[in-house]
Amino acid sequence: MNVTKSQVLRNVSEVPSVLAFSQTAPDAGGFGGCMSILLRWKGSIYKTIWKDLLVYYGLYYLITIIHNYVLDEDGKRAFVALAKYCLKNSNSINVMIMLTFFTTTALHRLFAMQTMIPGTAKVITFFVLSLKPNLPEGPIVVEQFARWTVLAWILTFRVVSKPLRTMFPDIISLQVAGIIKEKERLLLERVETERNKTPRALMVIDWMLLLMKESSVHNRFAEKSNYLKAVEVLMTFKKGCGNTIKFATKNMPYALIQAVIIVVYTYGLVTLIARNVEEASSCVFVEVIVNYIPIIPSMQFFVFLVWLNFGRVAVNPFGTDDDDIDVTLLFKTHVQDSFRLASLYSQDLEQIFGQMPQHQHNQESSLQSAAPMQNQ
């Protein structure tokens, strides 16, 4: 590739395998494991709902102060009537049905998306190992194919991932990074002027198909069947890219998300007011708990709130939350893989390990196969 590692991977500070190890969930066995999970902040429910928690308790204390110190006797009687009405009807709001439908749908889409995320390693590896060794143009063809594979992957995930769009806001930024050449950029930009609705990533895959066709015409494949097998692998990659684009263009209806948000926050508003003020006033201790420690009325609301936020995270798994898929890290990993896999074409084991134990047997086999040809 013409891309230099310093250009594209300048922000890489951690090895992906080490990062994955550090992000592995702690062992939940035993009391210590449970406590380590409960006290975790990154990616936790506390980080997700702490702002809602502050607003909820702030409003709760504000309503309590208004009832105790601002309202007159008529106002307090009206407030008590409203509080008892809300307390009586708070359980009539069936939040669980909507939340169950919402989160089930969101998680189904998330799991389906995770299984269909296209990878670049299989496509590049199969193409590299299908070619004849030691072709004069081999390294150039391999470099071009690997770079186009990464380019198709980037153009696919720019559609669904805001962090990747921030990293590469336009096609020119890809050229500056060395991932795309000027002529290729002009071809992709011409698509927009012609109002062609074909996704750019799929157009790059068409270039890869043409490169395979050219390699077959010029007899670059070690076996003729490798051409059709390589096309099959590439079409699987194309299907993964297309499904990823469909995931972004056919998102969950905003009306459904809005309905769930309205129901959950309406339930929270009802629990703010719902309290048995008259019974609490007969006991000072109970009155303090009701007025200033609203654990019971808020507990179910926060369960619903956590449930709602979990579903909202699943709706867009390529965002910037702690639990979202780190697309920028995936991109850097795919670039590294493309360099490594493309270099396999001009490498062999002896360049890495020196003379191998099987070297002598390989030479003997070559001499034995060459002897009959000399006799002829």
- So where are the chain's domains? 46-115+252-323, 120-250+328-347
Quote the pLDDT of residue 301: 83
Give me the pLDDT at residue 208, please: 95
CB-based contacts of 170, cutoff 8 Å, min separation 6: none
For each of the chain's 376 residues, which pLDDT tens digit applies?
444 545 444 444 445 544 544 555 555 555 666 777 777 777 677 787 888 888 888 888 888 888 888 889 888 888 888 888 887 777 766 788 888 888 888 888 878 777 778 889 999 999 999 999 989 999 999 999 999 999 999 999 998 888 889 899 988 999 998 899 999 999 888 876 666 777 888 999 999 999 999 999 999 999 989 999 999 999 999 999 988 888 777 777 778 888 888 888 888 888 888 876 655 445 666 666 666 677 766 777 888 888 888 888 778 777 776 667 788 888 888 999 999 999 999 888 777 777 777 666 666 665 565 555 555 5
For residue 122, the model assigns a pLDDT of: 93
Please state, rounded to an integer, the average pLDDT across all residues of the chain: 80
| Amino acid 152: pLDDT | 95
**Cβ atoms < 10 Å from Cβ of 371:** 10
Q: pLDDT at position 237, please?
A: 94
| pTM beyond 0.75 | no
